Structures are given as C-alpha cells and as structure tokens.
Amino acid sequence: MNAKTKFDWGKLVHWRFFMPIVCLFLVLLVNVIQTPDFFVISINNGVLYGYLIDIINRASELVILAVGMTLVTAASGGQDISVGAVMAVAAGICCQILSGGAVSTNTLMAPMAIAILAALAASVLCGAFNGFLVSVLGIQPMVATLILFTAGRGIAQLVTKGQITYVRVDSYRVMGGYIGACPVPTPVFFAIGVVLVVNLVLNKTALGLYIESVGVNGSASRLVGLNSTHIKFLTYVIMGLLSGVAGIVASSRIYSADANNIGLNLEMDAILAVALGGNNLGGGRFNLMGSVIGAYTIQALTTTLYAMKVSADQLPVYKAIVVIIIVVIQSPVFQKKFRSMRHGKAVTVNAG
C-alpha cells in the first residue's frame, strides 16, 4: 500500500506539468489564508464576477503571447522581445482605420473586419521581418527583434500621430468586454481559441515535431530533409499574428490605441511565462500547456498582490521575490537535489 502511493507520487513528480501547476497552486494558496473569499465566483450584473475571473480574464493577452513565445523559443532557441511593440502597432492600425484618422470617433468609419484584417496583416508583416532576420540572415533572435522592440512603438506613434485614438463604439468593445448576454469575458474565448487552434495544428500535423527537432539540432534536421529556415520563419510569423490578436484584445478593453502603454513590458512577462512553464529557453523540446499555466501564474500573482493590499511602491519587490522562488524551484540543480532527497528517503524507508 505504502509502496503504491510512493510509486504514484514519483510518477506525479516526473509529470511535465507538475512544477508549473505546483507554482500556480503555491501562489493561489496564499489567498486561502489571506483572502478567504478569493475563490468565490458569483454572477453580478449578469456577468461572472470574482478574483478568479479577473485572473483568467486579465491573463488572456499574456496566454496568447506565451503560446507564440513557446514556439519561437523552441525553434530558434531565442526569444522575440518585440511582441509588446507589435501589439501597439496592431492596436494603432486597427483604431486608426476605425476612426478614419480622427483622434476620437463615435461611429465606425470603416468596417471592423477590414480594420482587424489590416492590423493582423501588419503584425504578420512584423513577424515575417523578425523571422527573416533570424532564419535567413541568422541573426541572434534577441538582437534581431530588438529592432522592432525599439522601432515598433515609434511606428505605432506614427500611425496614431502620437495621440491616443479612441473608438467609442460599443461594437468595438466586444472583444475586450462581453458578447451580448454571455457572462464570460470575451478575451477568455480568444485565449482558449488560440490555445486550442495551436494545439490542434501541432498535434494533427507534424509541425510540433519539426519545431522541436529544429530547436534540438538544426543541422541534423536539415540532413534528414527538414527545411529549418522555413520552420523558424514560420514560428516568427505565428508569433507576429498572435501579437496582433493580443494587441486588438488589449485595445478593445480600453476602446483606444495607447501606443505608449499597450503591451508595455508584456514581452518580459511572456518570456517569464515560458520559463515558468518548465521550458528550456535554449530551445528544443517544449511544453505548450506549461507556458499557458505559467501565464496564468503571473497574472494570479499580480491579482493576489492587489488582494493582499500590498502598496503600489512595494509591488515589484514582492513580485520579484516570488519569481525568484519559482525559478529556483524549477531550476535543474534544485530539481535534482529534490529528487535525490526523495530517493534517499525511499531507500531509508525500504531499509527500515
């Protein structure tokens, strides 16, 4: 009996989602003690209401970015740090087309589909630019994407003429708000949709396998007939597209394009989400759902600190401490120690 539970426990520890989930639960656990009503979900004003809903809702953009970032990391062994800026570009283009060039509008000046498609096309273009630099020219990903990281917000400023462009139309607020009487916030659907579609593509086609093999050993993959350049390029294009989606959702939340602030510092959170998900930032094998859990962990941390009444000037310090703890727990050295500790225990139990 004892041996059986031991066996299950060991299997659980080696399960690849174990660590990300443990971290998420650690963050949420604090709330059980500190804010007992943290987990209460009710219906208020016809929509779901509660801290958990806030976390799931607010994390949506980050989840979308984390999915793309995982693929980019796996294939190219580097990160795309331009995603926040690309979000701003997409938001800027979308709002600017909808407002017909004005600073604020109360009626749509162009069909929404055209604006969204144009915004997504621009973000795909940004992704293709990054992908070209990384895959064809072989530039280090962080250096290559640094270009759009700095220039992206400038482009967004140029598009919006340095103003915050407001689209005060109810139909534009749907993507960051609610669809009709549906009680679930729309961004959640975007996040779930992106995760489902990407998962489906990875599982139904060999793309996931290709990305992993290119990341593990690009030259070897080429020798067995994989075009590693194409695959790397493709991951950056996907990243661009997803940044665009995240940008439109973020812009719809505030029915405006705030070129300076949309997606600000979100690239770092997205990279952190990938790391928290137990992925190797050097590329190779990846764990998509781990990154998604990582993204929710980061938002859970922010919301938790709000709920715990941590004052604003101390917030970054607490965040940093928790992140350090989580990263240390997930580090290979610590995990090895942890496992050998368990094995050591098991041996003594057997001996006894």
| Interface positions with other proteins (CB under 8 A) | 35, 37, 44-47, 49-51, 54, 58, 104, 153-154, 157, 162-164, 166, 177, 250, 253-254, 256, 258-262, 264, 303, 306-307, 309, 311-313, 315
Q: How far is the CB of 56 from other proteins (least distance, A)?
A: 12
The H or E element spanning position 309 is none
CB closer to other proteins out of 4 and 309: 309
Residue 111, phi then psi, degrees to nearest 5: -60, 140
Q: How far is the CB of 312 from other proteins (least distance, A)?
A: 3
Q: How far is the CB of 243 from other proteins (least distance, A)?
A: 17
CB closer to other proteins out of 176 and 218: 176
Q: How far is the CB of 159 from other proteins (least distance, A)?
A: 12
Q: Is the dihedral of CA 314, 320, 323, 325 positive or negative?
A: negative
CA distance 352 to 4: 17
CB closer to other proteins out of 129 and 149: 149
CB closer to other proteins out of 35 and 229: 35
Tokens matching residue 46: 């016809």
Q: Using CA atoms in the order 87, 287, 17, 10, what is the torsion angle rounded to 10 degrees?
A: -160
The H or E element spanning position 165 is strand 165-167
Going by C-beta distance under 8 Å and a sequence separation of 6 or more, which residues neighbour residue 259? 88, 91, 92, 153, 156, 157, 159, 160, 162, 164
CB closer to other proteins out of 41 and 114: 41
CB closer to other proteins out of 307 and 327: 307
CA distance 118 to 37: 43
Q: How far is the CB of 68 from other proteins (least distance, A)?
A: 21
Q: How far is the CB of 347 from other proteins (least distance, A)?
A: 48
Of 280, 287, 285, the C-alpha closest to 331 is: 280
